[in-house]
Structure 1
Amino acid sequence: MMKESLEQLLELPAERKPIGIAQLKWFATRAIVFITLIGPDLLLAIVMTAILVSTVAFKGGQIRFFQASLGLPVGIMLFLLIYNRGQKAAHIVRDWLPFLFVTFIYENLHDLSKLFYNHDIAEILHRWDIVIFGIEPTIWAQKFYTPLLTDVMAVSYAMYFIFPLVIMFFLSNDDRRFEFREMALALTFTFIMGFIGYVLWPTSPPRYLIPHLYTNPQVLHGIFIFDRLQGAWDNLSVVPCGAFPSLHVGVSAVALFYAWKFRNIGRIYKWIWYLYIPLVTSLWFSTVYLRHHWVIDIFAGWIVALIGFGMSEYILKAWQKIRSIAGSPRI
C-alpha cells in the first residue's frame, strides 16, 4: 500500500521520462519510504552519527560515552515509564530515545569541534559589542556585582537544559506526540547549527579574552554555589572557543517559544509560560553577567532558535502529509 501510493506520487508521463528515470524513481521511492518509516528525528540522528563518525575518523579525537547532560532526560524517561504502561509506554520510548541519542551525539560533536579550530574571532565580536553598545557589556555588568547575585546568575545559567525538558515531560505524559517531536526536532536543529557555528566561527568567551579589563571584581565569586558550579563547568569544558552561537541562549529560547506556543493546551502549560518569561530572561542576562558570552553570541542564539522553531513544524507537517499519502497513521 505504502509503496504503491508513493510510486503513484512519483509517477511521470511516459513521454517525459528520460533515460534512467526508472532507476531514479526506484531510489526516490525507497528513500521516501525509509524517511516515512523512521521519521525526521531518527533521520537527523543518523546524519549526526555520520558526522560524528567522520569527524573521529578523519580528525581524530575520542567519543565520550559518559555525558552528564544525559542524566536528567534519561531519568525523566524512566520516571514516565514507571507510571505508564502499554501503548503509551511504547510511545514514550519511541519519542525519547532519538532525542537522547541526538543529545549524546551533540555533546560529543561539541567536544570535538575544537579539532577544527584554526582561528578565534573573539576579538572581532569584542569590537562589535563595543560598536553597538559603546562599552563591552560584560564590563558594564560589573556595576551589578554582588556575591549573592552571582550565585543567582549561576543557577539561572545552569538551568538552560532543564527548561525544554520540563515542557517535554508534560507533553510526553499527556501523550502529545506531535508536539513533543516538534520540540525535540527544534532542539536538534539548534544543536546542529550550534556545532556548525563552533566549527566555522570559533570564539572564546570574554572571561578568557579580556580578564585584565575586569576590576569589580577581576574574578567573580559567590557565597553558596557559584564557585563550585564554575569549577565544574571549567572541568567539563573541553572547548575553549565554543561561545558562538550561545546554545544556552538558543536552547532556552526554544523552550520559551514553545512555552508560548503551547500555553493554551492546559493550565500547567500556561503557568510554565508565565514562569519562563522571567526565568529565561534571567538566564540570558547571566550569560553576560558571568562573562561567558558576547552579546553577539546571544543574538546568534536567538537566530538559531528561531530557525529551529520554524523548520521543525514545517518538516513535521510535510512528513505527516507523506505518511498520509503512503496510508500510514498520523502520530
Structure 2
Amino acid sequence: MNGNITGNKADSFNVLENVEKSGVFSGPIFKRIGDYLCFFAATIGFDLVFVLFMTTLLVVTVWLLDGHIRFFQASIILPLGIMAAAVIIKSIQIPAKALKNSIIILRDWIPFLFIAFIYENLHDIAGRIDHYDVARYMFHWDGLLFGIQPTIWAQHLFNPLFTDIMSISYASYFTLPLAIMFFLSLAGERNLFRSMVLCISFTFVIGFICYTFFPCSPPRYFMESMYTNPHTLTGFFLYNKLQGMWDGLSVISGGAFPSLHVGISTVALIYAYKYRKISKLNKVIWYLYIPLVTSLWFSTVYLRHHWVVDIIAGWLVAIGSYFLAERLLKIWLHMRKRFSIS
C-alpha cells in the first residue's frame, strides 16, 4: 500500500483553513481542542507524535534528576548511514524529484533516530530508581520449563568457530530491521514503513520500561559460577572483540528482560514477510531472513545473554506491538480522510 502523504507547509495551512471552514472544528471548546489535536496528529503522523512525546518525557525526567543528555552516540551512525544511502539512491533514480524524495525519506526516518536518542539517554534514569534484580525468577522459570538451564545445556555445543558465527548472528539485530526499512524507502511504501517504525518504537519503549523498573541480569552474570565447559566462551577471531564492544556500548545494566534482540528481529521478520508481497524478487529476502532471525534467537541463549523466558517475552512484545501499530495506522488513515489530507 503506497501512501501519497507528502504535501508541504503551505498545503498544510490551506488544508487547515479549508477544514475550519467546513465546520469540523465547531462545537464546545474541549471538542474543538480535541479536533485540533487530532488534525495535528493526522498531519504529522502517529509515529512522530509518539516519539516526540517520549523524547519530551525523557528530557524532562533527566533534567529533574540532574542527569546529562547525550546527543550523539555510536548507535545512531548506522541508521544515519542507511538513511543517507536511501536518499542518494532515490535521487539518482529520479533526479527531477531528488529534493522532494529526500525530504520524504528524512521525515520517515526521523522517528527511528529519536528512538536511538531515547535509548542512549536511559542510563541516568535507570540508575536513580530503586529496584532489585528479577533474574532469580527467570532462573526459576527456565528451570521449570526445561528441567535444566538452557544456557548450561548449550555448553555441549561449544566450539570457537561456532561461537564466532553466533556472535555475528547476535550482532545483526540492529541491521535486520534497518535493511527492511531501507528497501521500503526505495519502494515508496510509506504506510508500511510507518507501521514498521511504530512497531519498532512500541517494542523499544516497552523494553525500556521493563529495563528501568524490572532490571534483569543475563545468565552469564547471574549464574557465572555454574558454567564449567567452558567457564568463559571464546572464539577464534570475532567473539572476544564483539563482546568487549557490546559491554562498552551497554547503556543499561540488567537489560535482559524482555530480549530486544529477539523483539526487534521478530519485527524485522514480520515486515520481511509483509514485504515479500510487493514483488516476487522480495520473497528472496523473506526466505533469507528466516535462518538469519532464528539463528539470532538461538545465539541469545548460546552466548548466555538471555534466558528463554526473555525470548518468549520478546516475541510477545513484538507481536503485540505489530497489532497495535497496524491498528493505529488504520486510525491515522481514517483521520487523514476525515480532514481531507491527501
Q: Relative to 1, partners in 2 of residues 1:5 and 1:101: Cα closer, same or farther, differing over 3 Å?
A: farther
| Structure 2, unpaired ranges of 5+ | 1-17, 92-97
Question: Where do 1:42-191 residues align within 5 Å?
Answer: 42-83=48-89, 84=91, 85-109=98-122, 112-191=125-204
Distance 1:138 1:6 in 2: 63
Q: Relative to 1, partners in 2 of residues 1:238 and 1:324: Cα closer, same or farther, differing over 3 Å?
A: closer
Distance 2:314 2:63 in 1: 29
Q: Which residue identity lines up with residue 64 of structure 1 in the other structure?
A: R
- The Cα offsets for residues 64-89 of structure 1, whole Å up to 9 and x where unpaired, read as 22322211110111112223113222
Q: Which residue identity lines up with residue 312 of structure 2 in the other structure?
A: F
Distance 2:134 2:143 in 1: 15
- When the two structures are superposed, what TM-score results if normalisation uses the length of structure 1? 0.92
Q: State the shift of 1:113 in Å.
A: 2.6
Distance 2:21 2:254 in 1: 51
Distance 2:270 2:22 in 1: 36
Q: 1:256 maps to which residue?
A: 269
Report if aligned partners of 2:134, 2:215 keep a CA contact under 8 Å in 1.
yes
- The Cα offsets for residues 281-309 of structure 1, whole Å up to 9 and x where unpaired, read as 00000000001011111111101100111
- When the two structures are superposed, what TM-score results if normalisation uses the length of structure 2? 0.89
Equivalent residue for 1:29, pick from 17, 22, 35: 35
Paired residues in the alignment total 318
Report if aligned partners of 1:253, 1:305 keep a CA contact under 8 Å in 2.
yes
Distance 1:3 1:256 in 2: 43
- For the aligned residue pairs, the C-alpha RMSD in angstroms reads 1.6
**Aligned to 2:221, what secondary structure does the other structure show?**
helix
Distance 1:69 1:5 in 2: 46
Q: 1:204 maps to which residue?
A: 217
Q: Which residue identity lines up with residue 146 of structure 1 in the other structure?
A: N
Q: Percent identity between the aligned chains?
A: 51
Q: State the shift of 1:37 in Å.
A: 1.6
**Aligned to 2:128, what secondary structure does the other structure show?**
helix
Is 2:328 aligned against 1:328?
A: no
- The Cα offsets for residues 12-71 of structure 1, whole Å up to 9 and x where unpaired, read as xxxxxxxxxx22112112111211121111101111112211321233432222322211
Q: Relative to 1, partners in 2 of residues 1:104 and 1:238: Cα closer, same or farther, differing over 3 Å?
A: closer
Greater shift, 83-92 or 215-224, is seen at: 83-92
Q: Relative to 1, partners in 2 of residues 1:195 and 1:110: Cα closer, same or farther, differing over 3 Å?
A: farther
Q: Which residue identity lines up with residue 65 of structure 2 in the other structure?
A: K
Q: Relative to 1, partners in 2 of residues 1:60 and 1:207: Cα closer, same or farther, differing over 3 Å?
A: farther
Distance 1:278 1:61 in 2: 42
Equivalent residue for 1:286, pick from 269, 277, 299: 299
| Structure 1, unpaired ranges of 5+ | 12-21
Q: State the shift of 1:250 in Å.
A: 0.3
Q: 1:17 maps to which residue?
A: none
Report if aligned partners of 1:202, 1:241 keep a CA contact under 8 Å in 2.
yes
